[in-house]
Structure 1
Amino acid sequence: MVGHKYVPWRRVRGWTCIRCGTCCRSFLISLTPGEAMYYRIKYGPVVISLNGKYYLLPKYDGTCIFLHSIGSGLYSCLIYPERPRVCRIYPFYISEKPLRSSSSEEAIYEYNGEILHVYIDSICRGVNRSSNIRYVVRKAVELWDRMGRP
């Protein structure tokens, strides 16, 4: 497992998912309590609890239990239509407060008159593969707001 390397969104040209699976192989997939209950009911014992937080049970190699290799270095999610909130928003990190280690000016994003702070995890191999940053940030913030703020 590796750590996140968040950079303010204004330092990035764009993002597109290239289906490399890095996100599903690098992190434990965190769940809300509601998601944990849903996945337990639907899929059985696929959720673990660590220090009071819920995660998808990783496979023996640490990858997400629902990650599936389709060959040629490409991956798919076996539960894509119902994937967790964190997976829908990744590689974006959105907060009402800036990260301590960051220049807050470059992370500022105004949404419906509110100041938010948006970062992108630079370990994602899809970062800077496109020139659509304003579009994808807007979509990520809308999704974050619609799905309920943490």
Structure 2
Amino acid sequence: MRRIERLNPLAVLAAAAIGVAIGLVVQFALSSRGNPPLVPPLSLPATLVLISAILLGFGIRLRRNVAKRAGAVNPFHAVRLLAAARAGQLVGAALGGFGGGLALSLLGRSVPAPTATWLPMVLALAGGVVLVAAAMIAERLCRVPPGESGGEEAGPEGEPGPADQAAYRQR
């Protein structure tokens, strides 16, 4: 069995950087035309937090089923949750970065923006951070605990698992 690696943190940072860049470009394009800044709806951070709660709920449910049934869990459910957790990390980073880019463009103005303008941007950034954190936790909950994988996976930090150590001692 192949060991499943965590999502590369550089991919999450790249998604956040792309989100920031898009947010900045959108705001600069709007301001160059004399339009008001784009203010994301308050439903965006609320939706990001709701998705975070759903991911955590499914992750905790999966972990409890693994502990209760000693590993007898539908692997397709675990893989789907893993895919959703990885997608949540990327989407949370991109949308949080977008909100951060929108807010970042307001810092260079000579007249400060009203709270009704910058607060939804900061909330979108915070919602993205919450989604990334929840998705990382859900991804961690999808991992097979040591000793339940049949000895084919490595232990923590790439160390050999118990079955691998026993096979080494027999040589």
Question: The TM-score by the shorter chain falls in which range?
Answer: under 0.3
TM-score by length of 1: 0.22
In our comparison, the structure showing a higher alpha carbon Rg is: 2
Q: Which has the higher helix share?
A: 2
TM-score by length of 2: 0.20
- Structure with a larger share of its residues in strand: 1
